[in-house]
Amino acid sequence: MLRSASVIGTGSYAPKRVLTNSELERMVDTNDEWIVTRTGIRERRIADAGESTSDLAAAAAKAAIENAGITPEEIDLIIVATVTPDMFFPSTACFVQTKIGAKKAACFDVSAACSGFLFAMDIARQFIATGTHNTVLVIGADKLSTIVDWKDRNTCVLFGDGAGAAILRHRPGSRGILATHMGSDGSYADILYIPGGGCLHPVTPETTSEHSNTIKMNGRETYKQAVTSMLSAANISMAAAQLTSDDLKCIIPHQANLRIIEAIADRMEVPLERFLVNLDRYGNTSAAAVAIALDEANRTGRMHVGDTILLVVFGGGLTWASSVIEW
């Protein structure tokens, strides 16, 4: 008999330093009007040099633990979704474990770019369903400021740093996560990627001077793929849960670009007001984005126990995922 998995607590953390569009005007050839009109982003948070991804993740985790009303010792699995790990190894999840004192947890990271948090949630759901683990801490955390080319106006205006976390557990009487979907298409790898820094093109003076260890993106193609794959992912999960968009109290999409969210709202025929949008304040924080938005929705009363919500994401890979949850 498979057990259901519910989100029993959420948390998030954003670094204190705010980088506004007008500050970016002094760094690259851009302007506030262009950034707001094309993306909806007004400011983003940037972590200090000494603040690592696991620091952001641990702060979000502590908030989620408090929100769930559990102790760190109750956590038996930690999964961190990130593309900016503190180090290649150990996993960022291992660093988080020590920082929050979750001594009994097994720890590993997941790499699915901006889709990582929902990939990690789905892994957690299945560990809970089969009964191998009871209390899972899932974190989406990224310090993208370390992999952004601050001289490239096509990308540097889009991204920010942050972390979001959720505690998943079987809650008797609650159906929890009703349906999920994950997809990928590696043939589009080169529209959104970091070519250098891995084993194929290791760090050398040449790769560093060519900025090949920073984000490269074909914006237009990414935009098109994002709309198509998020819509398809949303429809697959809703159909599996035997629901329509009318049944959804709140839709929490990946926070990359307001125009992408508007296009999805339009095609789903759902008013934009039912979408949680906070990218104006954080920009695109990759794996953290949907997790921070989920925490904001939870803490601002956007949904109540028994409401149905949809999470839907998209990222490099390409990867995409969706999850329909009874809150």
Task: Summarize as ranges the residues that interact with ligand ACO (CB under 6 A).
Answer: 30, 34-35, 38-39, 113-114, 153-154, 157, 192, 217, 219-220, 222-223, 226, 256-257, 260, 284, 286, 314-316
We find the least distance from the C-beta atom of residue 96 to ligand ACO, in angstroms, to be 22
Choosing from 94, 107, 114, 156, the catalytic residue is 114
- Strand spans (E) along the chain: 6-13, 18-20, 43-45, 77-81, 106-110, 135-143, 161-169, 177-184, 192-193, 216-217, 250-253, 308-315, 319-326
For residue 26, report the phi and psi dihedrals to the nearest 5 degrees.
-90, -5
Which of 66, 266 has the CB closer to ligand ACO? 266
Here the tokens at position 294 are 């989920």
Rounded distance, CA 27 to CA 23, Å? 7
Max Cα–Cα distance, the chain, nearest Å: 59
We find the least distance from the C-beta atom of residue 247 to ligand ACO, in angstroms, to be 27
Which of 138, 158 has the CB closer to ligand ACO? 158
For residue 74, report the phi and psi dihedrals to the nearest 5 degrees.
-75, -15
Which of 65, 318 has the CB closer to ligand ACO? 318
Choosing from 21, 213, 278, 284, the catalytic residue is 284
Using alpha carbons, select from 104, 44, 45, 56 the residue that is nearest to residue 80.
Answer: 56
We find the least distance from the C-beta atom of residue 300 to ligand ACO, in angstroms, to be 23
Which of 262, 307 has the CB closer to ligand ACO? 262
Active-site residue, 114 included: yes
Using alpha carbons, select from 95, 76, 59, 92 the residue that is nearest to residue 169.
Answer: 76
Rounded distance, CA 220 to CA 200, Å? 27
Query: What number of CA atoms fall less than 13 Å from residue 184's CA on the CB side?
Result: 12
We find the least distance from the C-beta atom of residue 297 to ligand ACO, in angstroms, to be 19
Which of 19, 75 has the CB closer to ligand ACO? 19
Using alpha carbons, select from 108, 94, 105 the residue that is nearest to residue 70.
Answer: 105
Using alpha carbons, select from 146, 82, 137, 69 the residue that is nearest to residue 109.
Answer: 82
Choosing from 94, 133, 254, 278, the catalytic residue is 254
Q: Please identify the residue of the shown chain whose CB is closest to the bound ligand ACO.
A: 219
First vs last Cα of the chain: how many Å apart?
22
Here the tokens at position 285 are 């924080």
Active-site residue, 213 included: no
Active-site residue, 284 included: yes
We find the least distance from the C-beta atom of residue 234 to ligand ACO, in angstroms, to be 16
We find the least distance from the C-beta atom of residue 38 to ligand ACO, in angstroms, to be 4
Which of 5, 113 has the CB closer to ligand ACO? 113
For residue 250, report the phi and psi dihedrals to the nearest 5 degrees.
-150, 140
Active-site residue list:
114, 254, 284
